[in-house]
Amino acid sequence: MGRYGDLDYPKLTKRGFFLGLAMLLVGAAGEAFLPMLVGPLPSWEATLLLDLEILGLVLAFLSPVVFGFALPLTE
């Protein structure tokens, strides 16, 4: 048992990356296709989709760094 318990680092890295990628794709697709389908988006929806894209990028980049490098090195 390691310092942080029994964490499966490869699984956490992959799941975090793909979750971030999914968030990025949902946000980008929503910004691209929703205005064509329903007309102009209210500002709160556009902000929500932009935030989803930004958080997706951050999660997709930080997940491999945290679960792939930092945590395994500190055990």
Give residue 71's pLDDT: 87
Give residue 29's pLDDT: 97
Domain that holds residue 26: 9-74
Residue 1 lies in a domain: no
Residue 61 lies in a domain: yes
Give residue 58's pLDDT: 97
Residue 42 and residue 72 in contact, taking contact as beta carbons nearer than 8 Å? no
Domain total of the chain: 1
d(Cα 75, Cα 71) in Å, to the nearest integer?
7
Helices (H) and strands (E) in the chain, counts: 3, 0
Residue found by looking up tokens 């499966």 in the block: 8
Residue 2 lies in a domain: no
pLDDT in tens, 2-44: 676 788 899 999 999 999 999 999 999 999 999 999 999 999 9
Give residue 5's pLDDT: 77
Full-model pTM: 0.87
Residues 6+ apart with CB under 8 A from 22: 56
Residue 24 lies in a domain: yes
pLDDT in tens, 33-49: 999 999 999 999 999 99
Residue 3 lies in a domain: no
